[in-house]
Amino acid sequence: MENREQQDRDKTLITDAKQINVAEGNAKVIEWEDFEHELARLWSLSSALKEANEKKQSLQEKLQAFIQVKNESLNKLNELEEMRERLEARKLVMENMSARCKVAKEDAKSREEMLSTEVRALLVAGTSLSVAKKRLQESNRLLTEERGYIKLKNVQRKLRARQQYMISQLSLLYPVKIIVGPAQEQELESYPGSSRLGNSSVSKPINQGSLTILGLHLSMLPFTKMSFFTDKKEVQRSATALGYVAHVVSLIASYLQVPLRYPLRLGGSRSYINDYAPSVEPMSSDLSWDTAITANLKPVEFPLFLEGQDTTRAAYAVFLLNKDIEQLLNFIGVKSLGPRHVLANLKELLRTVQSSEYIDT
């Protein structure tokens, strides 16, 4: 039975071999004597082919597994590369944050030092303020008492008496007197009898006399009608008188401790007065006008004399000088007679300060 099955397989192999040879067009005639040998060879080839196919299948499976592992490895590698790039980016961010943190730390340290300095200064200032507050409370306590108020009034009286004495000496150096009699040119049309606030001035006729300072008249005519035929000596006398007035006003302001609105630059008959007002008024629509800029403006000087000068500038200088006298009069509570009465205002200033009312106020 086994031999028959073997023969059937052999016939099948022979038939397959013939079909193969016929299909390939290479028909081969095998002798019967060589049939068994050829059959064995074909059987071995079939076994080898089967084994090769099995190995091939195994290799394909292994290769497929290897390819899959390789793909997974590549994917992992790509993921690792992406993670490395993100790590580098994070590292760069951390370095930037560390640098910023270092700068912020240094800034905070410097601010802390500044703050500690300010705190120390505040502590010192607080201590000084506390001491000053205690002194103020003590001063207030003393002032609220009858003796303290009396002491303050006595000090004020002594101060005013001292001011009165210095200004009386000044009036002896620069006496302002009324020259009684007819005069061709006069500065004033009236002068006050008593010009305290609330009292009216007493008018005098023009021909009753004129005011002089140290014997010199202050005629306003050259300042308004200067011409080629104007008397040069009269111009010089007016400039000298204005120099005297400027000196007196400057000294009285220093005695009374009043900063003049229009400061003076003394030079005898060549004195000047300064005006800090801007020469050009700002536009009403200019809302950005800064007061600091106005405070830093350079003063404009105006001459208190006529020789070689514009009459308009000189007349304006006399006007500003009278404004200074008016400022001092207002400080002691006296009315001014107006912008044309320079010597009369000065005389009233000297008279009021030397009166007994000045000490009692």
pLDDT digits (tens, 9 = 90+) for 203-253: 343 333 488 888 888 776 555 555 544 567 878 888 888 999 999 999 999
CA distance 56 to 29: 33
Phi-psi region of 244 (alpha: psi -120 to 50; beta: other; left: phi over 0): alpha
Q: In terms of domains, do 92 and 219 share one? A: no
What's residue 184's pLDDT?
40
| CA of residue 207 relative to chain centroid, distance | 62
CA distance 132 to 13: 131
Q: Are strands 216-217 and 209-213 parallel, antiparallel or unpaired?
A: antiparallel
Number of domains in the chain: 2
What's residue 153's pLDDT?
80
CA distance 160 to 260: 19
Nearest alpha carbon to residue 273 among 295, 253, 255: 253
The predicted model scores a pTM of 0.52
Residue 132 in any domain: the answer is yes
For residue 221 the two structure tokens come to 């005519």
Q: In terms of domains, do 271 and 343 share one? A: yes
CA distance 272 to 103: 59
**Which residue bears the tokens 């005639």?**
29
Q: In terms of domains, do 95 and 156 share one? A: no
Q: Where does a domain end: 114, 136, 158?
A: 136
State the residue range of the domain holding 163: 149-178+209-278+298-359
Query: 187 and 221 in contact (C-beta within 8 Å)?
Result: no
Residue 203 in any domain: the answer is no
| CA of residue 263 relative to chain centroid, distance | 30
Q: In terms of domains, do 111 and 235 share one? A: no
Residue 183 in any domain: the answer is no
Residues of the chain with pLDDT under 70: 1-30, 143-149, 180-209, 220-231, 278-297, 308-309, 361
Residue 304 in any domain: the answer is yes
> ∠ at Cα 228 (222, 230), nearest 5°?
35
Question: Residue 174 burial (CB < 10 Å; 0-12/13-18/19+)?
Answer: middle
What's residue 150's pLDDT?
76
What's residue 179's pLDDT?
75
SS3 247: helix
Q: In terms of domains, do 274 and 354 share one? A: yes
Q: In terms of domains, do 109 and 217 share one? A: no
CATH code of the domain containing 355: 1.10.418.40
Nearest alpha carbon to residue 223 among 160, 159, 309, 156: 309
Nearest alpha carbon to residue 246 among 224, 222, 268: 268
Q: In terms of domains, do 125 and 274 share one? A: no
Q: In terms of domains, do 155 and 103 share one? A: no
Residue 38 in any domain: the answer is no
In angstroms, what CA-CA distances link 218 with 141, 237, 240, 322, 341? 53, 8, 9, 13, 10
For residue 158 the two structure tokens come to 């002594």
Give the number of other CB atoms < 10 A from CB of residue 190. Answer: 16
Q: In terms of domains, do 213 and 344 share one? A: yes
Q: What are phi and psi of 213, to 5 degrees?
A: -120, 120
Q: In terms of domains, do 154 and 273 share one? A: yes
Query: 192 and 198 in contact (C-beta within 8 Å)?
Result: no
Q: Where does a domain end: 110, 136, 162?
A: 136
Q: In terms of domains, do 334 and 222 share one? A: yes
Q: Where does a domain end: 81, 104, 136?
A: 136
Residue 199 in any domain: the answer is no
CA distance 190 to 79: 109
Residue 64 in any domain: the answer is no
Residue 184 in any domain: the answer is no
What's residue 85's pLDDT?
92
CB-side neighbour CA atoms (13 Å) of 14:
16
Q: In terms of domains, do 245 and 320 share one? A: yes
